[in-house]
């Protein structure tokens, strides 16, 4: 693929980059296979990312017009008794890995009461002058059930998780996905939807 490079801040949402380039998020992922999650690395303030050739001027125009608060949002979580890393990730509906990296933790790290954790909260992508992509939420069934979801072009684990009221971490677990967040069109994913989770989130 032909590409150009641009610099973006740490923890920039890949969907935002795709919207600013007016291409699919899969195109951005294909050009940057080292990125296995939905954002750029948290430990690199000026990350050089590859975008399709000929899109640099369009990207800069759209991206620079966005207020910084539209790009990403962080929240501080004060650890309470009984908190776990997995539970905190589910509470904020985010993947666990960015929390670990932002706070320099491992999955085996012990939390202490009163500890402050930085939580990355993805924002809805709002491309300047572009139609905003709305995520359609499926109506949750009354009873918990297992379904098979066929991946469509442009889908991400985050999109699917939001649509079915689950987390990306759960989807990876149910499908034994060991390659990060990469999924492909026509791929079949097992989802467990409904029951207490769906009714609680409605």
Query: In order along the chain (202 residues), what is the average pLDDT of each group of 10 residues?
Result: 87 84 89 82 82 92 76 74 91 84 83 85 42 42 70 78 76 77 81 54 34
Specify the pTM.
0.46
Does residue 55 contact residue 49 with C-beta atoms inside 8 Å?
Answer: no
What percent of the chain stands above pLDDT 90?
18
**Span 30-85, pLDDT tens digits:** 999 988 767 787 667 789 999 999 999 999 988 888 776 566 556 778 899 999 99
Domains located in the chain, CATH noted: 3-70 (no CATH), 72-121 (3.10.350.10), 145-201 (3.10.350.10)
Kindly give the interhelix angle for 56-64 and 14-21, rounded to the nearest 10 degrees.
120
Distances (CA, A) of 142 to 89, 149, 195, 200: 25, 18, 6, 12
pLDDT of amino acid 196: 38
Is residue 121 classed exposed, middle or buried when 0-12, 13-18 and 19+ CB atoms within 10 A define those classes? exposed
């Amino acid at each position: 693929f032909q590409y150009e490079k641009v610099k973006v801040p740490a923890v920039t949402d890949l969907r935002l980059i795709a919207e600013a380039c007016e291409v699919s998020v899969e195109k951005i992922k294909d050009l940057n296979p080292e990125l296995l999650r939905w954002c750029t690395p948290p430990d690199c303030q000026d990350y050089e990312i590859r975008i399709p050739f000929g899109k640099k001027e369009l990207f800069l125009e759209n991206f620079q017009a966005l207020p910084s608060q539209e790009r990403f949002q962080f929240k501080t979580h004060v650890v309470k008794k009984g908190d776990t890393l997995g539970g905190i990730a589910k509470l904020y509906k985010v993947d666990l890995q960015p929390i670990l990296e932002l706070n320099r933790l491992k999955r085996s790290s012990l939390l202490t009461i009163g500890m402050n954790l930085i939580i990355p909260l993805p924002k809805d992508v709002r491309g300047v002058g572009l139609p905003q992509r709305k995520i359609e939420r499926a109506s949750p069934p009354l009873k918990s059930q297992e379904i098979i979801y066929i991946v469509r072009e442009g889908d991400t684990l985050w999109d699917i998780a939001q649509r079915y009221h689950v987390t990306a971490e759960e989807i990876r677990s149910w499908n034994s996905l060991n390659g990060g967040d990469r999924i492909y069109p026509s791929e079949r994913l097992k989802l467990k939807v409904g029951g207490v989770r769906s009714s609680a989130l409605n």
